[in-house]
């Protein structure tokens, strides 16, 4: 449905019924969403569309959780297709930041999150159209659906939003003084309904999802097998040369986890094996393990006349060789810490 914006930086609500806070049963029963995420999503859906989502404000007040907990929850909602940060290019040429919230999981948002969360700027760029709707602008310059549905209630006049309780949320905040609202599209403007998928298209999409899931499972199994191979070899080799392991009972599991993480970062099985021998510990500490990997890959010089070269985490976990390692299935680059704390207002002028 078309989101009625109180200002260009307002939250765009993706709702099917605009008369009350409505959360579908599929959302409530989604086991990937924590109770905290369900509560925060319901609270966001209950706010006016002039609202601006900020974790520092959401964490204030009695009974609220900390800012980091709010930010983590927003990232979970984004990954599950309920929330996203948008960089909006308006028809008048201005570029502003805003957020979008959906009462139900939007498959298109999930796909867009997988694409843009790996970018340097994780905000999803959207472009306003003549009828007031938005299209997503992808890295290759193409435009696609923003995931908002045509709602059967969309032609009805929405009721006035309820006034928030004093001191709650950000409903009392005014949009930036320099911002101007975009022109309201004509009431008789025609809207193009997106065609429904045919059974054949649905079957093809399901087949693609199943193939992707199978590939992901195969890659995960291969990664687990490689980590197990290196870990088992080292545990036997260390017992021969260093003696029996003395330490916590889950030492083998912890060591295998360290190896798996290194393999995910692009290190080879041979590099991991050489690093374990260099560390000379059944279970190296995190610092010893990363230092050993740095030495094996020539990122850290082991001996110098003036002492060991200082440890550099970015250098140790950086690219191996001339080309960057491919991102393993199931991993993404860490999104910006302030995903929900963008500066709202005009970012660029024509």
Splitting the chain (350 residues) into consecutive groups of 10 residues, what average pLDDT does each group show? 60 64 82 88 81 78 78 90 90 89 88 88 89 88 83 48 46 42 52 71 88 91 93 91 83 90 90 90 88 82 51 47 38 42 52
Does residue 330 come out as left (phi exceeding 0), alpha (psi in the -120 to 50 range) or beta? left
Q: What is the pLDDT of residue 163?
A: 52
What are the start-end ranges of the H helices in the chain?
Answer: 25-28, 35-45, 55-58, 67-79, 107-116, 199-242, 251-264, 269-279, 286-296, 313-316
Q: What is the pLDDT of residue 325?
A: 40
The pairing of beta strand 346-348 with beta strand 95-102:
antiparallel
Q: What is the pLDDT of residue 259?
A: 92
Q: What is the pLDDT of residue 190?
A: 54
Domain ranges of the chain: 12-194+335-348, 210-316
CA distance 14 to 341: 21
Q: What is the pLDDT of residue 320?
A: 41
Q: Tell me if 78 sits within 8 A of 339, measured CB to CB.
A: yes
Q: What is the pLDDT of residue 198?
A: 84
Q: What is the pTM of this model?
A: 0.41
Element (H, E) at 88: strand 83-89
Beta bridge partners of 84: 100
Q: What is the pLDDT of residue 66?
A: 82
Q: What is the pLDDT of residue 312?
A: 52
Q: What is the pLDDT of residue 217?
A: 92
End-to-end Cα distance, the chain? 28
Q: What is the pLDDT of residue 121?
A: 84
Q: What is the pLDDT of residue 118?
A: 84
In a 3-state reduction of DSSP, which class is residue 201? helix
Q: Which of 325, 258, 241 is nearest to 293 (CA)?
A: 258
Element (H, E) at 177: none
Q: What is the pLDDT of residue 185?
A: 52
CA distance 251 to 237: 15
């Amino acid at each position: 449905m078309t989101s009625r914006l109180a200002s260009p930086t307002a939250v765009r609500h993706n709702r099917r019924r605009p008369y009350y806070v409505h959360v579908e049963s599929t959302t409530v029963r989604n086991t990937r969403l924590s109770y905290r995420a369900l509560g925060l999503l319901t609270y966001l859906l209950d706010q006016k569309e002039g609202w601006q989502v900020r974790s520092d404000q959401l964490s204030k007040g009695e009974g609220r959780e900390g800012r980091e907990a709010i930010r983590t929850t927003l990232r979970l909602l984004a990954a599950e297709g309920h929330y996203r940060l948008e960089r909006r290019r308006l028809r008048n040429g201005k570029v502003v930041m805003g957020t979008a919230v959906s009462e139900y999981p939007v498959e298109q948002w999930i796909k867009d999150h997988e694409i843009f969360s790996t970018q340097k700027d994780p905000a999803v760029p959207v472009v306003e159209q003549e009828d007031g709707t938005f299209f997503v602008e992808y890295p290759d310059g193409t435009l696609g659906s923003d995931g908002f549905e045509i709602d059967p209630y969309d032609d009805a006049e929405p009721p006035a939003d309820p006034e928030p309780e004093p001191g709650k949320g950000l409903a009392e905040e005014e949009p930036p003084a320099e911002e101007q609202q975009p022109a309201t599209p004509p009431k008789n403007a025609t809207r193009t309904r997106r065609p429904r998928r045919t059974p054949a298209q649905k079957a093809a999409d399901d087949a693609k999802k199943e193939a992707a899931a199978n590939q992901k499972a195969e890659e995960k199994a291969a990664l687990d097998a490689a980590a197990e191979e290196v870990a088992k070899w080292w545990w036997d080799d260390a017992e021969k040369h260093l003696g029996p392991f003395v330490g916590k009972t889950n030492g083998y599991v912890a060591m295998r986890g360290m190896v798996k993480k290194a393999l995910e970062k692009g290190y080879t099985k041979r590099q991991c094996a050489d690093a374990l021998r260099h560390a000379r510990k059944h279970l190296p500490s995190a610092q010893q393990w990363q230092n050993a990997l740095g030495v094996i890959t020539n990122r850290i010089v082991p001996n110098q006349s003036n002492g060991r070269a200082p440890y550099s985490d970015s250098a140790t976990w950086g690219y191996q060789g001339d080309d960057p390692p491919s991102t393993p299935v199931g991993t993404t680059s860490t999104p910006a810490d302030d995903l929900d704390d963008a500066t709202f207002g005009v970012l660029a002028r024509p």
